[in-house]
Amino acid sequence: MKKHFAVALTAALVLPATPAAAQDETITIGGLVYLDRNVNRVFDEGDVVWTDGLSVRVSEHDTGRIIGDFGTDASGRYRVVVPKGPEYAVTYINQDYATNRPMYGLITESTADADFNLIGQILAGSSFVDANGDGVKQAGERTHQGRIKVVGRSRSGRAIELETQPGADGTYSFDLPDGDFTITAPDLTAEGLALAPPRTPHDIDWLTGSHKLQQIWDEDRTDRLDLRYLEAKADIGLESAVTPVRDVYTIGDQLDLKLTLTNHGNVPVAPTFFLGSFAAKLLSHSENVTLRPGTDEDFTVNAKILPGQQVDVALRIELTDVEYTEVHALVRFNFGRLPDVGQQNNVAVKTIKVVARPTTGPGTTTEPTATTTTAAPTSTTDQAVAKAGNGSGLASTGASPLGFLGLGALLLAAGVGALFVARRRRS
């Protein structure tokens, strides 16, 4: 572009120094390229001259031979000096914009009014701190220095990235080609500001802070979008409940933990929270939260909670440690750069008592180890005797007492005989 323009400009500057006959052998073709914001085909108040990139192509009308592609100067004008004789055509070549006059043809004489009005789309609106919430900027309501951004691609595929600031009156505007674009509101949480709730269809979505522009085909091709802010107050409250409710829990018990997060502030937030001193096993969680990878206790709420609304989060855990003495949940302060104005309600604690599972006794499931000696079962006859008893008040062994009496008599007789023999020997 610069080379073509330089050649044309050089030729124009040299022409006055050439003989009159040489001047008669050339013609000059030029015109104005501008953004026709009111689409009336006239460059008037509110329109903007075009100075960005190659704009027109000059060629021989009959043969189609291209003379060159040319851009505009700082005033939005192009100027091309060509040999006199052929018929020329000037064509608008920037496919990102429409125009009411895409070509001038059959040019044989010098002309300075081969103008092109470019028709794109306009995004405009206001951005200010709406202190009274009425949607209209008052004289005492302040603006901001945040950068409003628009990114996307033109219909030719060219990447577009623009940004601007609101003026002193709170208004802003973008001139855009035809294409697909998204506008993003500036993050002003460092200044204690957040987007205000929408009042009209022209307000940006305060949940996402962005808006996807639609193609505009009406006559003025203008889209309005307002970015209103308010003095932000972020405040998330937390409550918890544990079921089943017991005085004492045992290792291996499973509990359902319900956390209720309530937005007491005036801005939408998607808080994070975690379980402090967590000494249990997480079995499952509800689908409205995301668990931070590599953790069992760190969560983010998936969708922003609107002011005045609340969400319930369900967690199922298994007790694995007697040191787990309290179910302790804490909301983090992650509302952009806004402080939490009510930190006293960010913690929920439920005290619990966990004991070890008994290793012996009724209800235990402890299996015998390899070194445990297991007694052999008694016979059916023995069991029947043990259950029957003998009516003497003594525990029955299942054996007859007569056998023991006979054995005692034999031992006594043997003792007496031995004593008698010993006396005879002494005599």
Pick from 197, 231, 265: which residue ends a domain? 231
Contacts of 32 (CB under 8 A, 6+ apart): 43, 49, 75, 76, 77, 113, 115, 116
- Chain centroid to Cα 107, Å, comes to 58
363: helix, strand or coil: coil
Give the N- to C-terminal CA distance of the chain in Å, as an integer: 155
The secondary structure of 389-425, three-state, reads CCCCCCCCCCCCCHHHHHHHHHHHHHHHHHHHHHHHH
Residue 128: Cβ-neighbour burial (10 angstroms; 0-12, 13-18, 19+):
buried
State the pLDDT at residue 335: 63
In this prediction, residues 137-153 reach a mean pLDDT of 95
Q: Are 15 and 81 in contact (CB under 8 A)?
A: yes
CA atoms within 13 Å, Cβ hemisphere of 290: 9
Tell me how far apart the alpha carbons of residues 408 and 96 are, in angstroms, rounded to a whole number. 125
Amino acid, res. 351: T
Q: At which residue do the structure tokens 């008040």 appear?
A: 393
Phi and psi, residue 76, nearest 5°: 85, 15
Q: How confident is the model at residue 204 (pLDDT cuts 50, 70, 90)?
A: very high
State the pLDDT at residue 98: 87
In this prediction, residues 110-135 reach a mean pLDDT of 94
**Do both 10 and 79 map to the same domain?**
yes
Taking residue 331's Cβ as centre, other Cβ atoms within 10 Å add up to: 22
CA atoms within 13 Å, Cβ hemisphere of 56: 34
State the pLDDT at residue 360: 65
**Do both 142 and 106 map to the same domain?**
no
Number of folded domains in the chain? Answer: 3
**Do both 333 and 273 map to the same domain?**
yes
- Model confidence at 104: pLDDT above 60: yes
Long-range CB contacts for residues 7-11, cutoff 8 Å, separation at least 24: 7/68, 8/68, 8/70, 8/78, 8/79, 8/80, 8/81, 9/79, 11/81
Question: Would you say residue 377 lies in a domain?
Answer: no
Of 128-132, 335-339, 360-364, 381-385, which gets the smallest average pLDDT?
381-385
Question: Would you say residue 115 lies in a domain?
Answer: yes
State the pLDDT at residue 341: 87
- 178 vs 57, higher pLDDT: 57
CATH (domain of 29):
2.60.40.10
Q: Which residues pair with 304 in a beta bridge?
A: none
Per the document, the length of the chain is 427
Tens digit of each residue's pLDDT (9 = 90 or more) over 52-91: 888 899 999 999 999 999 999 999 999 999 999 999 999 9
Amino acid, res. 387: K
Question: Would you say residue 416 lies in a domain?
Answer: no
Tell me how far apart the alpha carbons of residues 38 and 117 are, in angstroms, rounded to a whole number. 10
Pick from 119, 150, 179: which residue ends a domain? 119
State the pLDDT at residue 396: 34
State the pLDDT at residue 361: 57
Question: Would you say residue 380 lies in a domain?
Answer: no
In this prediction, residues 263-286 reach a mean pLDDT of 95
Taking residue 262's Cβ as centre, other Cβ atoms within 10 Å add up to: 17
- Model confidence at 309: pLDDT above 90: yes
**Do both 92 and 44 map to the same domain?**
yes
* Domain span including residue 350: 236-355
Residue 222: Cβ-neighbour burial (10 angstroms; 0-12, 13-18, 19+):
middle
State the pLDDT at residue 261: 97
In this prediction, residues 319-341 reach a mean pLDDT of 87
Contacts of 269 (CB under 8 A, 6+ apart): 234, 236, 263, 304, 305, 334, 335
**Do both 104 and 131 map to the same domain?**
no
Q: How confident is the model at residue 326 (pLDDT cuts 50, 70, 90)?
A: very high
**Do both 155 and 224 map to the same domain?**
yes
Q: How confident is the model at residue 392 (pLDDT cuts 50, 70, 90)?
A: very low
Tell me how far apart the alpha carbons of residues 26 and 85 are, in angstroms, rounded to a whole number. 8
**Do both 243 and 184 map to the same domain?**
no
Tell me how far apart the alpha carbons of residues 413 and 68 are, in angstroms, rounded to a whole number. 147
- Model confidence at 12: pLDDT above 60: no
**Do both 153 and 57 map to the same domain?**
no
**Do both 59 and 156 map to the same domain?**
no
Tell me how far apart the alpha carbons of residues 395 and 177 are, in angstroms, rounded to a whole number. 106
Tens digit of each residue's pLDDT (9 = 90 or more) over 210-258: 999 876 655 667 889 999 999 999 999 999 999 999 999 999 999 999 9
- 406 vs 163, higher pLDDT: 163
Tens digit of each residue's pLDDT (9 = 90 or more) over 344-365: 899 999 999 999 998 865 555 4
Question: Would you say residue 378 lies in a domain?
Answer: no
Query: Chain-wide mean pLDDT for the chain?
Result: 81
DSSP letter (8 states) at residue 38 = T
pTM above 0.75, yes or no: no
